[in-house]
Chains A and B, each alone.
Chain A
Amino acid sequence: MSQATHVLLDKLVNGYEVVIGFETHTQLTTQSKLFSRASTSFGAEPNTNASAVDFALPGALPVMNKGAVQRAIEFGLAVNGHIAESSVFARKNYFYPDLPKGYQISQFEIPVVQGGAVEFFLEGEKKTVRLVRAHLEEDAGKSLHEDFADMTGIDLNRAGTPLLEIVTEPDMRSTAEAVAYAKELHKIVTWIGICDGNMQEGSFRCDANVSVRKPGQPLGTRREIKNLNSFKFMQQAMDYEVRWQIEQIEDGHAIQQATVLFDPDTGETRSMRSKEDAADYRYFPDPDLPPLVIGRDWVEKTRAEMSELPRVMAARFVADYGLPEYDAGQLTQSKAMAAYFEAVAAASKQPKLASNWVMGELSKRLNSDEKAIESSAVSSLQLARLIERIADSTISNSAAKQVFDALWTGESTDVDAIIDAKGLKQISDSGELEKIIDTVLAANAKNVEEIRAGNTKAMNALVGQAMKATQGKANPAQVNALLKKKIG
């Protein structure tokens, strides 16, 4: 049963099924533009990253950037899509000041990537969102409204930047699922290096097509929320839109197809100025550009040279390290994190502990300091050594946290030195422990009676006492074992 027909009853909102599809525009990491040799560098003075082609001067003509095609192929492979042997560029005609030619060169009937899917986990459940297509097109320029009284300033630096537009089937059934999809897609495009993923700079922009319907009914009319460039806003915008549509329907109003913008200040979506005529784009194959031919050799060469994809790596972590799927998914959120984890696992030979520490304490610390893992104050080798000391019972888990702190703040770089300096070594010596335990048992005869009578909870108090007596340095597992042995 395809996901599209399976109604997730627990995801209904006020009895309505939510249907969402995404279109994501990813700016590709090429040096030059899609059809011009101007630079794509960010932050240049207005109209200084623009050539005759970008200014759409009379007589200028487009010439295709191989790097953009290369990245489209890589994306197609990453999502198991079909790379078209021949795809066509088409002109999408409309008038807007940031669109210098009066048409955008895009792909219409025959895109470069067809099909494919993105898989991810949502609350422990595996989800698959099917892709319809991904195609190459050029970005428009920028309009600056604020600086000039009743005029708008047009900067064409961005005009012509290569975009890969990625379109999904309307497979998503909750706003949370849609955000999870967006995050997974973001991970894929940054992992394979085709997009820098910088959402503030506009490298990754999502349009959400949202509709609602009573289960079993045909698809409702969708409204498109444009230009969502943060995951937080994505969630807010879609939640608002869903509630708004349901309210409209309940009040007896039909939903009109519209393009809407999200206003982060008000938390609402509102309809953009009507663009009915803009809907007639008069697409036709661009006569300035013959078809894009991609031979199977090129595809296979790319496939062979691509680094391991996150899903594949996650599956390998499950198989080789015995990690749960969720952990594997977390660890493969970026190439850098995965590499860090593997280095720790290899050096310590403790993949589960490595996973816990990378996902737990390390991630927590990186987040609160707003650091990327590449700038982690604790190196993978240091963490590996720390984990080894836990595994060989030199220190307890709680002691390990103190060691980690010391590493993080730069107090020292040597795990063993820190353990010695802070006297964190666990007491594992049986003889020493036995003496302490005998003392504890002697002082707590009543508890001993209760334990023998079947009250296992009373054991905790004894363990606690033993730990106190050893200033926390006793190996808790050993303490437990010894107590049990002595009590009987």
Chain B
Amino acid sequence: MSTPPDLHDLSVVDLAAKLAAGDVSSVEVTQHFLNRIKSEQLGAFLALDADVSLAQAKAADVRLAAGERTPLLGVPLAHKDVFVTRDFATTAGSKMLANYRSPFDATVVSKLAQAGMVSLGKLNCDEFAMGSGNENSAYFPAKNPWDTRRIPGGSSGGSAAAVAARLTPAATGTDTGGSIRQPASLTGITGIKPTYGRCSRYGMVAFASSLDQAGPMARSALDCALLLSAMAGPDLDRDSTSLDMPAVDYATDLIAARAYKTGDSAPKHPLKGLRIGLPKQFFGAGCAPDVLLAVRSALAEYEKLGATLVDVDLPLTELSIPVYYVIAPAEASSNLSRFDGVRYGHRAAHYTDLNDMYKKSRSEGFGDEATRRIMIGTYVLSHGYYDAYYLKAQKIRRLIAQDFQTAFTQCDIIAGPVSPTVAWKIGENKADPVANYLADIYTLSSSLAGLPGMSVPAGFGEGGMPVGLQLIGNYFKEAQLLGAAHQYQMVTDWHDKKPGASS
């Protein structure tokens, strides 16, 4: 039986339409992707189970046959391996959790399953979501489909690589300091980190509790909107930081805009009135010229769409690096204490007593970056240092958030690059891990403030590598961000480009 050759080039919305029309079954679609994944060389997947995936696809087909027509029914996706799943092992990219089987599903996973999506498997990531290149995965690095010698970004590197290479139509990721936006930028796909508290953190292996957020990664803003509509929403019974705000349909307006666009009376300047703020700190010497070029071209397109560009000031941008790298490791050092070899996870084979068991199990289970961050986090919380480091950082955090509020009195959306460079070569930055931290400069401050942020493919830079445009919105303004990205994607086709290495 032959499968349509271009199933993997279809967007989520178009796949859903085909399934709804009965042109293809979920089992066929799922099998199609499973076949592609079998021969993948990108290190994108950590866990696969065809039986599980096909069983879910069958169930979706039953629902379709019964007449159900919901936006994601029968469409496959894959989950970043920090979301716990009952049906697949969850490792969080770490040896510490090798073969760990959770007795429950993450809320985000359940919601997407309820929406009828089919799990293709679990995606590679930096260990415990700590990293910007997926090189910190304890299993193997993931590779950028545009140039397999380069990183796909991190920590949601597997998610980005899989979506860019058309191994899955969409993926879930998590973003703590940029881990959805940066890999999306480096692989030429679209990703959004919503406002902190929009998506439930229940079932996400915790890295930094006041920063972690789940979000969708796909090949268009519209696809992201469809997924976010299902993923977001209050989880009041299980997550005390989940916002008590009703779930939003992010997609209907975008679909309507798309239909409108193709008509005769489509507006010439659909984004008229939209003020886009450009922080001067995002456009300085620290950003590579090829990146700036792509970003400025994208901004020119936005002007053509009717938007106005204004200068804004985010003076604490550089300080967001030490602030983030004090707060996130501090929270992580505490969150990772539960990995002690007692109730689950890796336990050393040889030890002399309890403390030795703890030390050996943890040292064997954690990689270098996780170890480093636990050390930093433990230090900044320890007696005598708490005020100067942790408390100080949380105070500057408030100032950073206030600076954004000031900026948002002058603009509606803030824009700039996601990453100072395009994807670098695997192994290039291993020698000085702290240098890696500096590359997070454009995404950290919005994470600290809890603001929503997106990465939208905006062109290419050095070596033919993708460059992403970052859009940062005010709290709860995901619809505005997705709308602005969608309008841009209707007049450009960066997001439709295919990497050569998408087997």
Contact = CB atoms under 8 A, between A and B. Distances in A.
B202 A95 contact: no
A103 interface: yes
Interface string B320-351: 00000000001100101110101110000000
A91 B334 contact: yes
> A-side binding surface: helix, strand, loop or mixed?
loop
B197 to A, nearest CB: 10
B203 A284 contact: no
A288 B382 contact: no
Interface string B196-216: 000001111110111000000
B92 A58 contact: yes
Contacts of B355: 95
Interface stretch (A59-67, A80-88, A464-472, A478-486): A59-67
Contacts, number: 98
Interface stretch (A49-57, A201-209, A216-224, A327-335): A49-57
A101 interface: yes
A297 to B, nearest CB: 20
B381 A290 contact: no
Interface in A85-105: 91, 93, 95, 97, 100-103
Given A97-B342, A103-B334, A63 B240 contact: yes
A44 interface: no
A415 to B, nearest CB: 59
A246 B239 CA distance: 53
Q: Which 4 A-B pairs have the closest CB atoms?
A: A102-B337, A282-B381, A287-B209, A287-B210
B390 interface: yes
A8 interface: no
A469 to B, nearest CB: 82
A61 B240 contact: yes
A58 B97 contact: yes
A52 B382 contact: no
B102 A59 contact: yes
A370 interface: no
Given A58-B344, A282-B383, A283-B386, 14 more contacts: A59-B201, A59-B203, A59-B206, A60-B202, A95-B358, A100-B338, A101-B337, A102-B338, A103-B334, A154-B342, A282-B386, A284-B334, A289-B240, A290-B240
B378 interface: yes
B339 to A, nearest CB: 8
A284 B386 contact: yes
Interface of B: 83-84, 90, 92, 97, 100, 102-104, 106, 201-206, 208-210, 237-241, 330-331, 334, 336-338, 340, 342-344, 354-355, 358, 378, 381-383, 386, 390
Pick from B103, B238, B378 the residue with the most CB of A within 10 Å: B238
Instruction: Tell which of A58, A100, A282, A284 has the most Cβ of chain B within 10 Å.
Output: A58
Interface in A357-380: none
Contacts of A55: 343-344
A265 interface: no
Contacts of B100: 58
B205 A58 contact: yes
A61 B202 contact: yes
Contact of B390 (A52, A100, A284): A284
A290 B243 CA distance: 11
Given A93-B337, A280-B383, A59 B202 contact: yes
Given A56-B338, A58-B92, A284 B205 contact: no
Select the residue from A52, A57, A154, A290 with max chain B CB neighbours within 10 A. Answer: A57
A460 to B, nearest CB: 75
Nearest to A89: B240
A282 B83 CA distance: 28
A103 to B, nearest CB: 6
13 contacts: A56-B338, A58-B102, A59-B205, A61-B240, A62-B240, A64-B240, A93-B337, A102-B337, A102-B338, A282-B382, A287-B208, A289-B241, A290-B240
A382 to B, nearest CB: 53
A64 B344 CA distance: 25
Given A58-B84, A280-B382, A280-B383, A95 B330 contact: no
Nearest to A154: B342
Contacts of B83: 59
A95 B240 contact: no
Given A58-B102, A59-B84, A290-B240, A102 B340 contact: yes
Contacts of A279: 383
A235 B342 CA distance: 38
A91 B340 CA distance: 17
**Which of B92, B100, B334, B378 has the most CB atoms of chain A within a 10 A radius of its CB?**
B334
A288 B338 contact: no
Contact of A102 (B330, B334, B344): B334
B114 to A, nearest CB: 18
A283 B106 CA distance: 28
A292 to B, nearest CB: 11
B386 A97 contact: no
B324 to A, nearest CB: 14
A186 to B, nearest CB: 33
A57 B336 CA distance: 11
A52 B358 contact: no
Contacts of B344: 55, 57-58
Contacts of A101: 337-338
Given A52-B104, A97-B354, A287-B331, A63 B381 contact: no
B391 to A, nearest CB: 9
Contact of B204 (A56, A59, A93, A97): A59
A52 B338 contact: no
A62, A63, A100: which has the most chain B beta carbons within 10 Å? A63
Contacts of A283: 381, 386
Contact of A288 (B106, B209, B381): B209
A282 B260 CA distance: 57
B201 A61 contact: yes
A284 B206 contact: no
A97 B343 CA distance: 9
Contacts of B97: 58
Given A52-B103, A288-B241, A58 B338 contact: yes
Nearest to A53: B238
Contact of A57 (B102, B201, B239, B337): B102
B247 to A, nearest CB: 19
A93 B358 contact: no
Nearest to A55: B343
Contacts of B334: 91, 93, 102-103, 282, 284
A280 B83 CA distance: 32
Given A58-B90, A93-B381, A282-B378, A290 B338 contact: no
A61 B338 CA distance: 13
A483 to B, nearest CB: 82
A100 B343 contact: yes
A462 to B, nearest CB: 82
Contacts of B386: 282-284
A31 to B, nearest CB: 16
A416 B337 CA distance: 72
Contacts of A58: 84, 90, 92, 97, 100, 102, 205-206, 338, 344
Nearest to A37: B237
B90 A61 contact: no
A215 B441 CA distance: 61
Nearest to B385: A282
A100 B390 CA distance: 24
Given A58-B102, A95-B358, A280-B382, A288 B240 contact: yes
Contacts of A280: 382-383
Contacts of A64: 240
Contacts of A103: 334, 337
Nearest to A151: B354
A63 B382 contact: no
B68 to A, nearest CB: 29
Contacts of B90: 58
Interface string A118-162: 000000000000000000000000000000000000100000000
